[in-house]
Amino acid sequence: MPKQKVRLLIVDDSVFTRATLKKILSRDPGIEIVDEARDGREGILKLQQHKPDVVTMDVEMPVMNGLQALEEIMRLQPTPVIVLSSVTTTGARLTMNAFELGAADVVAKPSGKSGDGLAELTQDLIMKIKAAAEIDPRRLRGSFPRPASIAGGLAGTARRAEAAGSGARVPGATPRQRVELVAIGTSTGGPRALQMVLQELPADLPVPVVVAQHMPNGFTELLAKRLDGICPLAIREVEDGEVLKNGTVYIAQSGKQIQVTKKGTSYVAQIGDEMPIKTLYKPSVDIMFLSLAKGAPPNAVLGVVMTGMGADGLRGAKEMKNKGSFLIAESEQTCIVYGMPRVIVEAGLADRVEDLPNIARAIMECVNANKR
């Protein structure tokens, strides 16, 4: 966490929301609210005046909405922006567009009832504000080089991890056994990272993919629909009891836990409130990984951990490695927040450390190895 106070600008047209945010955030000694703005235009002026570390931004505002303001912020003065969005069809759709423009994360907007989920909102928002303060603003633009076409061949192209003792093995390494399922865990910066990876995977991918992405309730369905419209693979929000099919990506439901087990020759998703371990996250990467370590054959799962704050996924990754799973971690060079991948790398669990534009190729190399 940052050693100095995080300087925060609040941009929202709602008097109630601004007052609520000021009340709950001012209690944290690590956050200083430098100012507030009533719309996007005023927000940009106050951003240039105060140069805050982080901005919270409503998306639906008069004069200049959050998307227009976000685009201007990334052009004029890139700054980590956390979107506060209502869980409505319009709000969720605008939030998906905000990620494409460079938003770092999303938090569900407080309702009109001051006590309605306020404790959970406070904890989530404070954690995300402090994580966002550590983001290098230059990475928010997502200007990474595009990978060469996967169809052009699958020669090993992994970059060697730069940090000594990272735990990464030989560049281009692949599992010794056939991969039956890919499991991806991600958090802050994840929607854009997922888009880059999933757009590069072919529609005939010979295995199913499950994804645990930290998001507030109500947003994962819209994320799945948006990705389904722009990616070759079929992408959907997973349902309880669903049999997972090859060539399909299943996004775990926000507000619920996903556990995956193998029954016969198929993998089946279980969605619910069961918490085999204590965790803040719904869905939790740890719970997804632990279920696969317990319910999948040895060596059958390829785990991928990408950008995100905290250490969710570490405990599950250790159990997966004990079962022979192969793990890919996103490199520090491309992570919006180098938290979740960092703990995997530092624990010596990563078989490959890849820049984001190379992760889809690495997945295909691993899936296509030992196909017989």
pLDDT at 154 over 50: no
Last residue of a domain, one of 137, 169, 190: 137
Distance CA 331, CA 158 (A): 11
pLDDT at 102 over 80: yes
Q: Which of 217, 194, 269 is nearest to 85 (CA)?
A: 217
- Indicate if 114 and 244 belong to the same structural domain: no
- Indicate if 163 and 259 belong to the same structural domain: yes
Mean pLDDT across 75-92: 82
Last residue of a domain, one of 105, 137, 169: 137
When pLDDT is cut at 50, 70 and 90, the band that residue 121 belongs to is: confident
pLDDT at 1 over 60: no
- Indicate if 24 and 157 belong to the same structural domain: no
Total count of domains within the chain: 2
- Indicate if 111 and 243 belong to the same structural domain: no
When pLDDT is cut at 50, 70 and 90, the band that residue 153 belongs to is: very low
Per-residue confidence (pLDDT) for residue 48, from 0 to 100: 96
Per-residue confidence (pLDDT) for residue 370, from 0 to 100: 75
- Indicate if 91 and 167 belong to the same structural domain: no
When pLDDT is cut at 50, 70 and 90, the band that residue 97 belongs to is: confident
Mean pLDDT across 156-176: 52
- Summarised one tens digit per residue, pLDDT across range 42-73 is 999 999 999 999 999 998 899 999 999 999 99
Looking at every residue in the chain, the average pLDDT score rounds to 88
CATH code at position 53: 3.40.50.2300
Answer with the residue of higher pLDDT: 317 or 143: 317
Per-residue confidence (pLDDT) for residue 188, from 0 to 100: 92
Parent domain of 277? 150-368
pLDDT at 212 over 90: yes
Is 142 within the bounds of a domain?
no
- Indicate if 126 and 180 belong to the same structural domain: no
Distance CA 39, CA 268 (A): 46
Distance CA 82, CA 364 (A): 33
- Summarised one tens digit per residue, pLDDT across range 6-29 is 999 999 999 998 999 999 999 999
CATH code at position 218: 3.40.50.180
* pTM of the predicted protein model: 0.88
- Indicate if 183 and 130 belong to the same structural domain: no
- Indicate if 198 and 240 belong to the same structural domain: yes
pLDDT at 2 over 50: no
When pLDDT is cut at 50, 70 and 90, the band that residue 87 belongs to is: low
Last residue of a domain, one of 137, 164, 198: 137
Six-digit token pair at 27?
Answer: 């209690």
What's the farthest any 2 CA atoms get from each other in the chain? Answer: 62
Per-residue confidence (pLDDT) for residue 109, from 0 to 100: 79
Mean pLDDT across 127-155: 67
pLDDT at 116 over 80: no
- Summarised one tens digit per residue, pLDDT across range 339-370 is 999 999 999 999 999 999 999 999 999 999 87
pLDDT at 120 over 80: no
Place of tokens 């692949």: 174
Answer with the residue of higher pLDDT: 114 or 97: 97
| C-alpha count within 13 angstroms, C-beta hemisphere, residue 6 | 30
Is 340 within the bounds of a domain?
yes
- Indicate if 349 and 278 belong to the same structural domain: yes
- Summarised one tens digit per residue, pLDDT across range 253-285 is 999 999 999 999 999 999 999 999 999 899 999
- Indicate if 208 and 261 belong to the same structural domain: yes
- Indicate if 246 and 319 belong to the same structural domain: yes
Per-residue confidence (pLDDT) for residue 167, from 0 to 100: 43
Q: Name the residues annotated as catalytic.
A: 187, 214, 312
Answer with the residue of higher pLDDT: 252 or 88: 252
The kind and range of the H/E element at 255 are none
Is 145 within the bounds of a domain?
no
- Summarised one tens digit per residue, pLDDT across range 293-307 is 999 998 999 999 999
When pLDDT is cut at 50, 70 and 90, the band that residue 156 belongs to is: very low
Mean pLDDT across 332-344: 95
- Indicate if 230 and 173 belong to the same structural domain: yes
Per-residue confidence (pLDDT) for residue 321, from 0 to 100: 96
Q: What's the CA dihedral at 27, 30, 35, 39 to 10 degrees?
A: -90
Is 1 within the bounds of a domain?
no
pLDDT at 77 over 50: yes
Six-digit token pair at 56?
Answer: 């919270």
